[in-house]
Amino acid sequence: MTGRPGHTARLFFMALFFTLAASHAPAQFHLLVFQNDADTLYAQLQRAPASALPELYNRLAFHYSFYQADSAFYYANKALELARRRNDRFEIAMANRHMGNAYSLSGDYRNSIRHLQEAMSIFKEMDHRRGMLETLHDLSRVSYDAGLHNRVMELIEMIEQLLDENRDADPPLITPLEQALSIGLRGIACREAREYERGIGYFREYIELAGKTKVPDAAHEIYLASMEETFRLDGKIDSAIKYILQAQDHMPENRNKPPDLHEGYEFHLGGLYIESGEPAKAVPYLHKSLSDEQLRGAYRYSALTACNLGDTYMMFGQYDSALYYYQAAKHEAGKFQTGLSAASTEGGPSEIYTGYQYFYNISGLMTREIYYRLMVRVCESLYRYYRKADNLPRALDHHELLLLYQDSLNTSLNNLEFPRMQLQFDMDQVEQANVLLQRENELKESRIRQNRLVIWSVGAISLLALAIFVVLFRQSRLKNIQEKILLEQRLLRTQMNPHFIFNSLSSIQNLIFQKDDIKAGIYLSRFSELVRAILEHSRRDAITLAEEIGTIRNYLELQKIRFQDKFEFTIHLDDRIDDEVQEIPPMLAQPFIENAIEHGFRHKEGMGQLNIRYNYAGSAVVIEVEDNGIGRQKAQEITRQRDARHRSLATVITRERIAALNRKSNKKITLEITDLTGPEGHATGTLVRFEIPNG
- Write out the residue range of the structural domain in which residue 435 sits: 390-539
Asked whether residue 439 is domain-assigned, the answer is: yes
Question: 488 and 518, same structural domain?
Answer: yes
Q: Do residues 95 and 78 lie in contact, with contact meaning Cβ atoms separated by under 8 Å?
A: no
Q: Is 408 part of a structural domain of the chain?
A: yes
H or E, element range at 687: strand 683-693
pLDDT one-digit tens code per residue, 191-250:
888 899 998 999 899 888 888 888 877 778 888 888 888 999 999 999 999 988 888 888
pLDDT band (50, 70, 90) for residue 484 = low
Q: What is the pLDDT of residue 287?
A: 92
Q: Are residues 489 and 401 in the same domain?
A: yes
Q: Are residues 379 and 394 in the same domain?
A: no
- Which region among 84-88, 281-285, 509-513, 603-607 has the lowest average model confidence (pLDDT)? 509-513
Closest C-alpha to 222, from 176, 282, 180: 180
Q: Is 149 exposed, middle or buried (0-12, 13-18, 19+ CB in 10 A)?
A: middle
Give the pLDDT confidence of 286-301 residue by residue, as tens digits.
999 899 888 888 888 8
267 within 8 A of 292, measured Cβ to Cβ: no
602 belongs to a structural domain: yes
- Residue 516: is its pLDDT beyond 50? yes
Out of 384, 416, 446, a domain closes at 384
Q: Is the peptide bond preceding residue 171 cis, with omega within 30 degrees of 0?
A: yes
Q: Does 166 map to a domain?
A: no
Residue 494 CB contacts under 8 Å (≥ 6 apart), including other chains: 590, 591, 594, 649, 650, 653
- Domain check: are 334 and 307 in the same one? yes
The answer as to whether 371 is a domain residue is yes
Q: How many CB atoms lie within 10 A of CB 340?
A: 19
Total domains, the chain: 3
Looking at the fold, whether 301 and 403 belong to one and the same domain comes out as: no
pLDDT at residue 660, rounded to an integer? 78
Query: What confidence tens digit (pLDDT) does each residue in 591-612 have?
Result: 888 888 888 888 888 899 999 9
Distance between CA atoms of residues 128 and 106, nearest Å: 28
CA angle 497, 500, 506 (to 5 degrees): 140
**Residue 280 covered by a domain:** no
User: Domain check: are 406 and 521 in the same one?
Assistant: yes
CA atoms within 13 Å, Cβ hemisphere of 543: 19
For residues 588 and 532, state if they share a domain.
Answer: no
Three-state SS for 673? strand
Burial of 43 (0-12, 13-18, 19+ CB in 10 A): exposed
Q: 299 with 412, same domain?
A: no
State pLDDT tens for residues 137-150: 889 888 887 778 78
What's the CATH number where 620 sits?
Answer: 3.30.565.10
Alpha helices in 496-544 (DSSP H): 498-513, 517-537
- Banded model confidence at residue 356, pLDDT cuts 50, 70, 90: very low
Cβ atoms of 625 and 687 closer than 8 Å: yes
Nearest Cα neighbor of 229 from 180, 271, 169, 175 is 271
Mean pLDDT of the chain: 80
Q: How much is the pLDDT for 464?
A: 63
498 plus 575 within the same structural domain: no
Residue 501 burial by CB count (10 A; 0-12/13-18/19+): exposed, middle or buried?
middle
Choose the final residue of a domain: 384, 410, 429: 384
Please report whether residue 444 resides in a domain.
Answer: yes
Higher local confidence (pLDDT), 583 or 31: 583
One domain for residues 429 and 519? yes
Q: Of the residues 338, 365, 384, which one is the last residue of a structural domain?
A: 384
pTM over 0.95: no
- Could you give the CA distance from residue 422 to residue 440 in angstroms, rounded to a whole number? 27
Residue predicted with more confidence, 669 or 618: 669
Nearest to 619 by CA among 585, 667, 651: 667
Count of C-beta atoms within a 10 Å radius of residue 307: 28
- More reliable by pLDDT, 555 or 613: 613
Question: Do 364 and 476 belong together in one domain?
Answer: no
The long-range contacts involving 151-158, CB below 8 angstroms and separated by at least 24 positions, are 151/424, 151/427, 152/12, 152/189, 152/192, 152/193, 153/189, 153/190, 153/193, 153/195, 156/186, 156/189
Together in a domain, 380 and 394: no
Q: Which of 26-35, 38-47, 81-90, 290-299 has the lowest mean pLDDT?
A: 26-35
Which tens digit of pLDDT belongs to each residue from 551-588? 899 888 888 877 777 899 999 999 898 888 888 888 88
Contacts 24+ apart (CB under 8 A), 655-661: 656/487, 657/487, 657/491, 657/585, 657/588, 658/588, 660/483, 660/484, 660/487, 661/585
For residue 576, tell me if it sits in a domain.
yes
* Banded pLDDT at 314 (limits 50, 70, 90): very high
- The least confident of 24-38, 42-56, 565-579, 675-689 is 24-38
